[in-house]
Each structure stands twice: as C-alpha cells, then as structure tokens.
Amino acid sequence: MKRLTSCDIVILLMVVALTCFGVVMVYSASSVMAAKKYHDGFYFLKRQGLFALVGFSIMYGVMQIDYHIWKKLAVPALIGCLVLMVLVLIPGIGGSAGGAARWIRFPGFSLQPSEVAKIALILYMAYSLEKKQDRVKFFSSGFLPYMVVLAVLLLLLLKQPDLGAALTLGAVAVIMLFAAGTRPTYLISMFLLALPFLYFLVMNVDYRRRRVLAFLNPWEDPANSGFQIIQSWLAFGAGGVLGQGLGEGKQKLFYLPEAHTDFILSVVGEELGFIGVLLIASMFFLLVWRSIRVALATEDIFGRFLAFGIAVLLGIEAFVNMGVVTGLLPTKGLALPFISYGGSSLLITLFAMGILLNISSRMRGTP
C-alpha cells in the first residue's frame, strides 16, 4: 500500500478512470452486435471487464517492483519480443484475420506481439541511452545501432503487415533519440531516406492507397473506402454538444464499423457529445503531461527515459486515434489506449502504467 499512496495520484486516478470508462463504452458500443454474433449482449463487456481486472492486478504488482530491475531485463525482453514476432508469422502458431497475421492464439485469449514490441523497445532504449549518454551524438556508436534494432522490428511488423504499429514504434524511437541529444541532422536524414519507402508501402498496396484517397476525399467513394469516416462524422454530428445519452447512439447499430475498437471515440461523441470527447481528450492530456513531469523529476537517466518513452507512446496512440476518427488523419488501425476493446493493448498499457507509477513513487520531490 505504501507504493499506492506515494505514487503520482493524478496518474493513478486517470488510468483507473479511463479504464473503467472504457469498459462501460465497450459494452455500450458492442452489446447489439455481440447479441447478434455471439447470442450474448454481454460478451465483450465480460471479456473487457476481465481484461481490466487482470490488468489492474498486473499494474499493482509491477508498481511494487523497483523499476531499476528492468535494466537487467531490457535486452532479454527485446529478444523475447523478436521471437514472438517471428512466431506470429509461422502458420499454425500465428493467428490471421483480415489478411494480417498479428496474433498468437491461446485458449480464450490472443496475444498481439506488436503491443509487446512497444514497451520492449522503450525498455531497451532507456537502458541503452543511459549507457551511451556521452556517445549519443556520434553516428556509428550512438545513432546507427538504434536504427539497426529499429529496422529489424519494423521489418517484422511490416511482414505481418502492421504499418500503424511500425510507424508508432518509429515515432517513439525518433522522439526518444531527439530528447537524448542525437544530432537533428541524423534524424532529418533518416526521415528523408524513409519517405520513398513509406510512399511505396502506401501507394503500392491497394487498401492503403484507398485509405489515403478516402482521407483526401471520402465522398468520392462513400459506400466503400470513405464509408467508415463518413459514419464517424455522422456520429459526432448527431451527438452535438451534450450527446444523445449513454447507450442511445445509433451509428453502432451496424453502421459504424469497428465501433467498439478503433472507432469507439465516435460512439463517445454520439452518446456523450462534444463535452464527453473534450473530457476524454483532457484526461489524456493530463495523463501525458503528468507522465512527462515524472520523467523530468526522476533522478537517474534510465528512469527518466523510461518514463518519457511511456509518456510519448501514450501521447502518440491517443493523438493518432483521435485524429483518425475525426478525419484529421488517414484511417489506421490504432486503438485508443484504455478505452478501445482489446486484451493485449489494455494489459500491456496497464503494465507500462505500473512501471510509470513505480518511477513516480521514487522520484525526487513532487512534480
């Protein structure tokens, strides 16, 4: 209990509130679809509720562990993650859905290695950046090794394929390197070199190209590639300022695809209105802001980069998801942390929050 009372209470409250709110919204967004598909309107509610309880237990357990132990586990965690990402590509071990092999199936649960990769990369980079803080400005010893590790992870992700997770990992790595003092010229050069490959990955794959075109003009193909974002806009528009009321949304009734997963914020907008969406966005902003303050107040370099990496990951995932469902970014399969339905995402996120809360309980002073 000591860790529970000495950690950053604001972060703890935001995590608990967002997770519990997510369980409620998953039920609201999925009950009708679950009743038709599984003959049980509580199907997704029971699973998400169980994921939340297990996740809270994991978070509480990790809160009790001195975060310095993750230094010893950083490299094994990265190697283990690479093994999982190879296994997911092996037929019979990896599970496929919609043409993508992204899951390892277990009885009653599917593990998504790309979620593990996010925290594994942050652990490794925090561990390595502490060791190389005086060499991070050099290309061969301070920049290139990270690009090699990142390239291996990205190639395995693209093989699944999971471009969204690949871009997320790339962004986290670049921001952490920039914060560590890597020369901006290295990062800019890498970005310019990556642009042709990114263009090829998007424009040479039909469904990705259609997503970009739908982002530019969804009304050109409103019944196919533009359908999802148009339905999302209709949900936000119907919600107005105060919303239709919890459980009263109509777009989730087989109009809006992925209503309980990637586009759950659209259901929030329809049922709780602009006020509800603004509240959720504010909670994420507060959570990321407090996490960055924890990083700044942490005494050692490893803890500082570990907390900062977790804060950056949360911020990117929340910002991208909100941008996608409002039409500010092309459609990409990234879940809204804590709120979207999904076991791997929620469990790994709460695991990361446990690390962050342990760091906050050991930092100098109060942020």
**Would you tell me how many other CB atoms lie within 10 Å of the CB of residue 86?**
14
pLDDT digits (tens, 9 = 90+) for 302-353: 999 999 999 999 999 999 999 999 999 988 778 999 999 988 899 999 999 9
Record the pTM: 0.93
The answer to whether the Cα torsion of 327, 332, 337, 343 is positive or negative is positive
Percent of the chain clearing pLDDT 70 (strictly above) = 95
pLDDT at 338: 96
pLDDT at 366: 40
pLDDT digits (tens, 9 = 90+) for 280-289: 999 999 999 9
Burial class (CB in 10 A: 0-12, 13-18, 19+), 20: middle
- DSSP character at residue 218: G
Encode 3-33 in three state secondary structure: HHHHCCHHHHHHHHHHHHHHHHHHHHHHHHH
pLDDT at 270: 96
Among the residue ranges 57-71, 99-113, 206-220, 317-331, the one predicted with the least confidence is 99-113
pLDDT over 90 at 99, yes or no = no
pLDDT digits (tens, 9 = 90+) for 161-173: 888 899 999 999 9
pLDDT digits (tens, 9 = 90+) for 175-191: 999 999 999 999 999 99
Q: How far apart (Å, rounded) are the C-alpha atoms in residues 315 and 319?
A: 6
Burial class (CB in 10 A: 0-12, 13-18, 19+), 196: exposed
Q: How far apart (Å, rounded) are the C-alpha atoms in residues 182 and 196?
A: 23
pLDDT over 80 at 84, yes or no = yes
β-sheet bridge partners, residue 109: 106
